[in-house]
Amino acid sequence: MNLSELGKKLESLLGLQHAAVAISFLEKPPVGVSRVRRPGPAGCSYWKMASDGETFYTAGEDHQNCVIGAYTHGVELGPEKASELQGTLSQMVSLEYLQEKEIPRVPHREETFVYAAYAPLKESPFEAQIVLIRGNAKQLMLLMETSARAGGGSDSTMIRPTCAVIPQVLRTGKTTPSLGCIGNRVYTELGDGEMYCAIPGNQLGQVVAELEKIVAANEALKEFHKARGASA
């Protein structure tokens, strides 16, 4: 099953309202793919653009508007932006949004950022290192049950910052859910009842294969529990 078929089946089985996104970090731009038209307000804003149907790549300059996201993605920051990063972190600490001890534990790419490519998964012209899914609690419940069954395991739920879920999955090789953060919810228009889940791209085929079984099993169990509840 090719990437297009896997993407379509994944979205159909989960009943996703937003297209799954393919993300890859590359040494050179994908053939035939254009650079993003203009820098977004944050790296996670590119997730929404891709989910809405756009295919593009970004360079380091396109990630400078959000220094937190630039840091998590391994983007090189000049002196001015590095100072801005420290100022932003200090502000978050002063607001009691973060604690100092949390900062060193924020996942980030160790590799230097060169290019990143984004596309709707079912239309992606490049292989996905990360498959990013936006959904509700039930959809992600099914996905996490599937990931555990598929053998890749799952990682603990991440909170802030949402963009750190990408390096976390690259580092651990485990499917990881994220509750989102307030900045991400603004930039991606994430609904109050929605969250994210990131899957290692090399596990996608197995995840989709097992998802079909998990969805069918849950539907059968739903009817079982409904009947049981009605007779209680």
* pLDDT tens figures, 75-128: 998 889 888 888 888 888 888 777 888 887 888 999 999 999 999 999 999 999
Q: What share of the chain is helix, strand, coil (3-state, %, to 5)?
A: 50, 15, 35
Is residue 201 very low, low, confident or very high in pLDDT (cuts 50, 70, 90)? very high
User: How much of the chain exceeds pLDDT 70, in percent?
Assistant: 97
Output 230 or 119, whichever has higher pLDDT: 119
Range of the domain at 156: 3-231
Is residue 153 very low, low, confident or very high in pLDDT (cuts 50, 70, 90)? low
Q: How many domains does the chain have?
A: 1
Q: What SS3 class is residue 154?
A: strand
Q: Residue 166 and residue 51: Cα distance in Å, rounded?
A: 16
- Select from 31, 3, 35 the least CA-distant residue to 19: 3
pLDDT digits (tens, 9 = 90+) for 1-51: 688 999 999 999 999 999 999 999 999 999 999 999 999 999 999 999 999
Take residue 133 and report the two structure tokens written for it: 């899914």
**Cβ(166)–Cβ(54) under 8 Å?**
no
The pLDDT of residue 152 is above 70? no
pLDDT number for residue 94: 87
- Select from 38, 41, 7, 12 the least CA-distant residue to 22: 7
pLDDT number for residue 1: 66
**Which letter does DSSP use for residue 117 in this model?**
E
Take residue 112 and report the two structure tokens written for it: 């230097």
